[in-house]
Each structure stands twice: as C-alpha cells, then as structure tokens.
Amino acid sequence: MNTKEDAPILKTIISQYQEVSKGLVNSEKSIIYYFNKDETSTIHYILQFPYRYYASETITCLGVQNKGVDWIKQIQNFRYLISNMLTSSLPYALKVIGINTYLLSKLYFRDLHSPMTDQEITKMHTMIKTFFPRITKTILFTLLIHGSYGLIDLKLQLKGRRAKIIYNLFFDKTNWFYSNIRAKLQLVANEIVDNASILADSESNTTLYATVHWGHLLVSNIPLKTIPTTTYDAGRRKGKKKPLKEVILSHPALSSEKLYLEAWFNLLSFNPTGRSLRFSLLHLGMDYKS
C-alpha cells in the first residue's frame, strides 16, 4: 500500500479472495505493509488489520530479505562452509569441484535479487583463493581443458546469468517478472525516443502511444530526443546526444534492472547499421563449463 486510497481497494480484494476461497483471512496472523509513512491514519480503521511501515521491517521470503543480501556476511558464511566441507587433505581438483557444484550454486539466485558489486566479487575470489595456497589465480581460474583447475570465474558467470534475464524478455511471454521489465522498457522508449507521439481517443477515453517497440532499445541504434527532462538528463552533453546505452542505464525507471542491462550491453555489440547483433558470449547464461 502507498496511499490511503489503496485501503478500500485492498479491502475489496480481500473480500473477493474470501468469497472465492470460502475462507477468512485471519487478521491476527496477517499484516498490512505500507510504503508511505505519512499515510497511516485510515489503514487500520478501514481494514481492521495490523499494519507496519515496510521500510522499517526486515522480512525474509524464500531465503531473500527485503533489504537485500548482506554480501560481506555471506562471504563469511561461505568461508565457514568451505572450511567444514573441504578438508585440507583433499586434492585441489576435488576442492574446486566441490566449490563449483555446491557452494557457488547457493549464490546465483541471491545475485539475481541483490546483484554483487565488482568489489564484493573480488572479495569472494580472494576468500576462496586462501584455500589454495601457492596457486596463482590464473592457474586456479583457467579452464580444465587448458590444463588448470577450472574454478568458476564469478564475474563472467554472473554477467552471463544477469544478461540472460534480458534475453528472456524476448521469449518468455508469461512470467510476470519479465512482463514488468518489458513494461518499464516501453515506458522508457515512449519517453526518450525521437518521433514518439501520443494519440488521444476521446470517444473511448483511451490514450495510444505511437513509438518504437521496447526491444529496439536493446538491439538497435535509434534516434533519441534532445530535450532534457526534469527527472534525468536525456538531452545534450557539450552539444552531443548521449549514447543510447548511457541513457537507458541512467534512467530512474530502470534502476532495479541496471546491472542486468549492463551485463547485456557488455556481452552484446551492434553492427554499424543496427540491424543485427553479435553475441560475444554464445551460451548466454549457461554454466561456464570447466
């Protein structure tokens, strides 16, 4: 909930759910979370549910906290797991297999919710390296087929997995998560692309947008507006337009998806005509095999 006007809407939704499910929502075991701390006066009166301010609460759902992952703490936990799982007498090759197949698998889904920074990835690599004394990082991370140990390079692995989120936007038509990102990209396209126009239909009381498809933001070079907006600078810098990539990555509507988009643009390049694309990593998002 964000405003007091949301309370009657939520009350209706709860009533509809109770009618369909033939069961009551327990007000003693349920909590309403609101996002606007200034809108609390009518919530309990209308809904008769306890309520709390979302930003002041720490909530864990499916192992992920609403305030994000504390990666420093996670790295410490990984050190503990490695110490207990891998005895010092194990050959290095078996240690690498254990880390690749078990420990790092616990990291990927958390990164999709709270992406690791480059500094945090470096700290993770440094921590893992302490279990392989007298072995250089180059030997440790080089692939098995090249005669080394093949420890997964998190920077490359996570880059591929993040870019796969953007890749899925083109093919997964049912997942609500991808639908939400597509809607954001279309909103950005309506705002920043040159020649976009708004067509109002007074008879049906609807508004239509004549603009480019959101996918063009990701796979082609398109003309941008040169008029700056009040929310961000989409205009000129020293008399020149910003590159499309820079405009997309700096747009506030896409702040939650910024690292996904950065990975996508990093692994993708356009030809001069903007009509085709070339992947610099063929198996996008697939396991980085050793």
181-228 residue pLDDT tens: 999 998 888 887 765 555 555 666 666 666 778 888 888 766 666 444
Residue 205 in any domain: the answer is yes
pLDDT the model gives residue 183: 92
Q: Are 221 and 247 in contact (CB under 8 A)?
A: no
Q: Is residue 65 part of a domain?
A: no
User: For residues 49 and 29, is the Cβ–Cβ distance under 8 A?
Assistant: no
Strands 51-53 vs 32-34: parallel, antiparallel or unpaired: parallel
Return the structure tokens found at 153. Answer: 């390079």
CB 214 within 8 A of CB 229: no
pLDDT at 197: 59
- Residue 260 CA to residue 112 CA, distance in Å, equals 9
Residue 2 has pLDDT above 70, yes or no: no
Claim to verify: residue 44 and residue 83 sit in the same structural domain = no
Specify whether 148 is located in the same domain as 239. no
| Highest mean pLDDT out of 151-160, 204-213, 272-281 | 151-160
158 in any annotated domain: no
Look over the chain and give the mean of its residue pLDDT values, rounded to a whole number. 77
Q: How far apart are CA 25 and CA 210, in angstroms?
A: 44
> What is the chain's length?
290
The more confidently predicted of residues 228 and 143 is 143
- Whether 287 is covered by a domain: the verdict is no
Q: How confident is the model at residue 180 (pLDDT cuts 50, 70, 90)?
A: very high
Burial 86-108 (b: 16+ CB within 10 A, else e): beeeeebeebbbebbeebbeebe
User: Both 183 and 147 in a single domain?
Assistant: no
187 and 264: one domain?
yes
CA gap 241, 119 in Å, rounded: 31
Which structural domain range is residue 223 located in?
163-279
**Residues 122 and 225 reside in one and the same domain:** no
User: Do 257 and 182 sit in the same domain of this protein?
Assistant: yes
Query: Within a domain: residue 64?
Result: no
**Total number of domains constituting the chain:** 3
**Is position 84 within any domain?**
yes
| Arithmetic mean of pLDDT, 55-71 | 77
Residues 171 and 104 in one domain: no
In this prediction the pTM is: 0.69
Same domain flag for 38 and 88:
no
Are residues 214 and 234 both part of a single domain? yes
Question: What digits encode the pLDDT tens for the residues 67-84?
Answer: 778 889 889 988 988 888
- Supply the pLDDT for residue 189: 86
**Domain for residue 253, yes or no?**
yes
**Whether 173 and 241 share a structural domain:** yes
Report the pLDDT value the prediction gives residue 168, as an integer from 0 to 100.
92
Residue 157 falls within a domain, yes or no? Answer: no
Is residue 194 located within the same domain as residue 266? yes
